[in-house]
Structure 1
Amino acid sequence: MIREKRTVGSTIFNIINIGFFILFTLICIFPFYYMFINTISDNYLAATGKILLIPKGIHLKNYAEIFSLPGLGQAAFISISRTIIGTLLTLIGSAFLGYAYSRKEYWMRKFWYRFVIISLYFNAGIIPWFIMMKNLGMINNFWAYILPTVVSGFYVILFKTYVESLPASLEESAQIDGAGYMVRFSKIILPLSAPILATIAVFASVAQWNSFMDTLFLIRSSKLFTLQFLLYQYLNQVNVIAEALKTSTHPSVNPFELTPISIRMTISIVVVLPIMLVYPFLQRFFIKGILLGAVKG
């Protein structure tokens, strides 16, 4: 085993480097930690700014009250459904089109690929988009969340670039054995594309989970409201909700505990936490996919 000879300068640099990134990590984590400890602490102390590092008067009534808000269960179901279905269809659509653009024999490949790239820089705007969605029957339609995201130019470029980094001999050997495009795509390309697929899955799932503008413009029925849109409405009515919960006849509610600040922070945690729990499982694929997908354009 060869040991690297460390100089005093390199040791000092490593200490400073590690210390900097530890500090940077703490700075990134602290806002989420601060919100969380305020949601489980005494609401009066949180409202007066007396909760900084350590929670005081710990309780979970804020979460119990937020989850008891009307329509929250249905909205969570819609958000989870659109995230799962939308991410899966985005993976299929973007991967298939990205693979097609990586084939040199594709008809007018360069023209269509440049057409995809142009779409990243220009869009028609909200009004033409709304008119088009209305003409397609997407008003008050669950598929308004899914169909517009099936193919994304950015994901297509990522997948195409990754496929082109794979050894061409893998496909050539399968082609000699008589394998067609679909067989090569499903049996060779997809199994080798786990890193870039995980990268696209992270991007697509976060976009689906956080989106609420499509609900704002296209959805009228409360049964199709997403969790983000419903909680956005509650955030705008936080003072009204606080008063309503204070006057609740529920026996576990203390009239003096609920405040607009506690409700606002609890809602923020409810929205952010689920997608934060997904990221660590895909992180190693995400980093590898980004690096390999950015080698060439």
Structure 2
Amino acid sequence: MTSTTAPKTVLAPRRRSRQREKGDVPFSILNALVFALLAFVCGYPFYYLIINSISANDVSALGDIRWLPQGIHLDNYRQVFELQGLPTAAAVSIGRTVIGTAATVLASAYLGFMFTQAKLWKRALWYRLVIITMYFNAGLIPVFIIMKTLGLTNSFWVYILPLVVQPFNIILVKTYVEAMPEELQEAAEMDGASIFQVFFRIALPNMTPILATIAIFSAVTQWNSFQDTLIYITDQSLYTLQFLLYMYINQADSLAQAAQQSGGNMGAIASAATQQTATSIRTTVAVVVVMPILFVYPLFQRYFVKGIMLGAVKG
């Protein structure tokens, strides 16, 4: 009796598991197709920029480059990298990105941690004063007057100081810290640790995922910003890479016209494949600006998803 019923109890779950596996195949195929489509939608714009930046400029200007490059050449990149002041502008952009990101991450970590401390005097008031700046600001002209009064115009620090305190980042850190076990801090305080020791030795080492998330946000913002240069800077030695390339894009039409009118002979116009056009300038500049920051994300990707999820939901 036992020998006849035992195989049934063993084989039944195996049979059901095989049926579930067969039923999962269509879902897996559909899931793979959907994600492949999303990957294509996200990746194609970058591919489109690259193939148009290395294709013959007269062909790309007509919009005929869709899938494969034509008349491949690198003259566009050579001319961009030969721009006057490019090394200095690149150094300024790298400096503001590194220093600004580090300052923003440290300030967000400290303020977010302090706003979780019940012993902080008038904690709710300070927190509300920080958060209210997300919804209200003085406007461009008053902010410019403040920057000028503080001596930050035509200063490298105008790129750093205004972006150090970011309310959204503080909210992420505060929510993340509140989800951490309170016993960690209580045990450290019982051992005689001060609030600064608790922050640097207990809280900060456990904030890696959320701080990596904030670092990505801050680095992208700092690297792509050019409007602060437009508003506050007139010293060319403080121009950022993005602002320099922004001016280059604005000159695209005039450069294209100058190329077509060089000497007024048809030979110069016929060689437009190696001359700058508005389209070639835009695509080349976009690739130059996007590619460096594009390589930053893979370094922090393993922390990004965990950080944004834990920092967004308490519990």
TM-score under structure 1 normalisation?
A: 0.92
Q: 1:279 to 1:222 in 2, by over 3 A?
A: same
Alignment partner of 1:64 out of 66, 72, 78: 78
Q: Give 2:181's aligned residue.
A: 167
**CA separation in 1, counterparts of 2:284 and 2:298?**
22
Q: Report matched runs for 1:234-273 at 5 Å.
A: 234-242=248-256, 256=272, 257-258=274-275, 259-273=277-291
> Against the structure 1 CA distance between its residues 21 and 10, is the aligned structure 2 distance closer, same or farther, given a 3 Å change threshold?
same
From 3, 9, 12, the equivalent of 2:26 is: 12
- The answer to whether the Cα contact below 8 Å between 1:158 and 1:293 also exists between their aligned partners in 2 is yes
Which residue number in structure 1 is paired with residue 293 of structure 2?
A: 275
Number of matched pairs:
291
Task: Answer yes or no: is 1:43 the counterpart of 2:57.
Answer: yes
Map 1:122-161; keep pairs closer than 5 Å: 122-161=136-175
**Contact 1:86–1:149, Cα closer than 8 Å, also in 2:** yes
Give the aligned residue type for 1:68. E
Please state how far the C-alpha of 1:262 moved relative to its aligned partner.
Answer: 1.0
Whether 2:300 is the aligned partner of 1:286: answer no
**Structure 1 unpaired stretches of 5+:** 248-253
Does the residue aligned with 1:296 lie in a helix, a strand or coil? coil
Deviations 1:242-276 (A, max 9, x none): 456786xxxxxx95312221111101111111111
CA distance in 2, matches of 1:220, 1:206: 24
How far does the alpha carbon of each residue in 1:89-137 deviate from its partner, in whole angstroms, 9 at most, with x for none? 1111111111110111111111211222211111111111111111111
How many Å apart are 1:239 and its aligned residue?
Answer: 2.3
Secondary structure at the aligned position of 1:124 is classed as coil
Look up the match of 1:250. Answer: none
Identity of aligned residues (%): 52
> Partners in 1 of 2:159 and 2:185 — Cα distance?
35
CA contact (8 A) 1:47 1:262 kept: yes
| Rounded Cα–Cα distance in structure 1 between residues aligned with 2:238 and 2:225 | 13
1:251 corresponds to which residue?
Answer: none
How far 1:7 moved relative to its partner? 5.9
Give 1:188's match in structure 2, choosing from 194, 198, 202. 202
Cα distance change on mapping 1:4 and 1:231 into 2, 3 Å: farther
Report the Cα distance in structure 1 between the residues aligned to 2:18 and 2:296, rounded to whole angstroms: 38
Q: Counterpart of 1:99?
A: 113
Tell me the amino acid that sits aligned with residue 269 of structure 1: V
Q: How far, CA to CA, are the matches of 2:69 and 2:231 in structure 1? A: 40
Alpha carbons 1:242, 1:263 under 8 Å: kept: no
Aligned to 2:214: 200
Residue type matched to 2:292 in 1? P
Higher helix proportion (structure 1 or 2): 2
| 254-263 or 62-71: bigger deviation | 254-263
Query: Is 1:115 aligned to residue 133 of structure 2?
Result: no
TM-score scaled by structure 2? 0.87
Larger radius of gyration: 2
Listed as ranges, the gaps of 5+ residues in structure 2 are 1-13, 263-269
- Kindly state the Cα deviation for residue 69 of structure 1 after the two structures are TM-superposed: 1.1
Q: C-alpha separation between the residues in 2 aligned to 1:70 and 1:280?
A: 32
Which residue of structure 2 lines up, in the alignment, with residue 233 of structure 1? 247
* Higher alpha-carbon deviation: 145-154 or 51-60: 51-60
Retained in 2: the 8 A contact 1:234–1:241?
Answer: no
